[in-house]
Amino acid sequence: MDATKEVSVTDLKRPREEDDNSTVAVASMETDNSAPAVNGEQTKEPACFSSVIPGWFSEMSPMWPGEAHSLKVEKVLFQGKSDYQDVIVFQSATYGKVLVLDGVIQLTERDECAYQEMITHLPLSSIPNPKKVLVIGGGDGGVLREVARHASVEQIDMCEIDKMVVDVSKQFFPDVAIGFEDPRVNLVIGDGVAYLKNAAEGSYDAVIVDSSDPIGPAKELFEKPFFQSVARALRPGGVVCTQAESLWLHMDIIEDIVSNCREIFKGSVNYAWTSVPTYPSGVIGFMLCSTEGPDVDFKHPVNPIDDSSSKSYGPLKFYNAEIHSAAFCLPSFAKKVIESKAN
């Protein structure tokens, strides 16, 4: 099947009707370049490759109208269409291998450390002795790799909707997918929303939601019923960390998430952010919340990572205790909006 004919960023559902999507039209109108051989045969390139500079990948989306980040492509390693999304892996000139879902960069070998380490250790280093952890999404395995560094953890459940992401990551990103090799991991391929509804009440110490943007298969992971299921599945004083977009680009989405979380999580509700060069605007944020029960002070980590984890996974590249606390310091324009939702 020549799946690439189906690939178009214009297929994405748009979360905000007021956004200008003319940039996407530009991207998808000029798809007629010849393409490199994939699996030995000549195929058409996906729209996001050929529309900008020949031989480059360009990331355009109605989520960030009027701008595009482009990476030079050395070789397309994989392109396919799963039941949920378009999946591309390419070797870039300067960022290592790159995983792209529905035209959006999910990880590059050069900067994945920042996202994976922060989304994992911000919650897990904020509570003593996490034992049972649930990961929703995160099919590349990078979050599993980071969870596995915590010696106290006994069980790591993962629910990822798209098996193709897992398979592709195991094939092309062994240093990321190494997380799947940990014997504590139970992988379920399925819908995270349904999984959480069926989870035993109060069963997890921590839930990590490693989702893509709220315009594809991850849409429901940004909505109130999902957060309610998360809160129900957590023990008292349990913690959740969810991917929560960019302060520079998506304050409207973030305001909604913060409002929802303040209603649902009766412990603490915090926003943190970190630098990830290949994400739009160069940053990504996280919502960190705890349920009613023992107090969780996310800004002052109580559970440092055991250095012995370096033996299996190499040393941490990005995360440390100072950068943990610093991640909660917000620019004034964002602080004002997020704190106003506190009341």
Active-site option among 210, 252, 295, 306:
210
Sites for a copy of itself among residues 241-260 (CB under 8 A): 248-249
> How many residues form the binding site for a copy of itself (CB under 8 A)?
55
> Contact between 125 and a copy of itself (CB under 8 A)?
no
Asked if 90 is part of the footprint of a copy of itself (rule: CB under 8 A), the reply reads no
Judged by CB, which is closer to a copy of itself: 73, or 148? 73
The rounded distance, in Å, linking the Cα atoms of 332 and 317 is 28
The minimum distance between CB 258 and a copy of itself, in angstroms, equals 18
Tell me which stretch binds a copy of itself (CB under 8 A): 185-193, 214-222, 232-240, 276-284: 276-284
Give dist(CA 189, CA 274) in Å, integer: 29
Say which amino acid occupies 318. Answer: F
Q: Residue 248 or 313: which CB sits closer to a copy of itself?
A: 248
210-218, 223-231, 233-241, 331-339 -> range binding a copy of itself (CB under 8 A): 331-339
39's CB contacts (< 8 A; 6+ apart) are none
Side-chain half-sphere CA neighbours of 340 within 13 A: 10
Return d(Cα 121, Cα 220) in angstroms, integer. 24
Alpha helices in 250-314 (DSSP H): 251-264, 309-313
Region near a copy of itself per CB under 8 A, out of 123-131, 144-152, 165-173, 322-330: 322-330
The answer to whether 189 contacts a copy of itself (rule: CB under 8 A) is no
| Per-residue binder mask for a copy of itself (CB under 8 A), 49-88, x = binder | --xxxxxx-x-----xxxxxxxxx----------------
Using rule CB under 8 A, residue 29 touches a copy of itself? no
**DSSP assignment of 96-150:** -EEEEETTEEEEETTTHHHHHHHHHHHHHTTSSS--EEEEEE-TTSHHHHHHTT-
Q: Which two tokens stand for residue 195?
A: 């999984």
SS3 202: coil
Binding a copy of itself (rule: CB under 8 A), the pick from 109, 193, 203, 318 is 318
Among 13, 295, 322, 342, binds a copy of itself (CB under 8 A): 322
Give the binding range for a copy of itself (CB under 8 A) out of 19-27, 129-137, 166-174, 193-201.
19-27
Nearer to a copy of itself (CB atom), residue 31 or residue 291: 31
Cα 308 to Cα 91: distance, rounded to the nearest angstrom? 32
Q: Are 240 and 207 in contact (CB under 8 A)?
A: yes
Q: Quick one: how far is CA 87 from the chain centroid?
A: 15
Distance CA 79, CA 278 (A): 20
- Looking at beta carbons only, is 224 or 341 nearer to a copy of itself? 341
The smaller minimum CB distance to a copy of itself, of residues 281 and 303, is found at: 281
| List of residues 6+ apart from 278 with CB closer than 8 A | 69, 71, 95, 98, 105, 108, 110, 111
| Segment lying near a copy of itself (by CB under 8 A), choices 47-55, 134-142, 232-240, 306-314 | 47-55
Residue 57 bridge partners (DSSP): 71
210 among known catalytic residues = yes
95 binds a copy of itself (CB under 8 A): yes
Task: Tell me which residues are annotated as active site.
Answer: 210
Binding-site ranges for a copy of itself (CB under 8 A): 20, 23, 26-27, 51-56, 58, 64-72, 92-95, 110-111, 113-114, 248-249, 273, 275-277, 279, 281-283, 315-320, 322-323, 325-327, 329-333, 335
